[in-house]
Amino acid sequence: MADMNRISVNRKIYFGKHCIATTRITVQSVLELLAEGLSFEEIIRDYYLDLQVENICGCVRYA
């Protein structure tokens, strides 16, 4: 359940969409990349250098 602490909602960021805590990266954006077949490592390397594997796991658990 610790992964769920990595997800936050703030009405002022992306109209209240669920984001990875302390970022402006939406859960939806990460899940779309996973749906396209990208690995966790590819997402971090090619799109979101500041993410950790635990952040992506949090998105998956949230979904």
Summarised one tens digit per residue, pLDDT across range 26-55 is 999 999 999 999 999 999 999 999 999 999
- pTM exceeds 0.85: no
What type of residue is 33? Answer: L
Has residue 12 got a pLDDT over 70? yes
Taking Cα atoms as reference points, which of 61, 53, 49 lies closest to residue 18? 61
Burial 4-33 (b: 16+ CB within 10 A, else e): eebbeeeeeeeeeebbbeeeebbbebbeeb
Q: Say if domain 2-62 classifies as CATH 1.10.357.10.
A: no
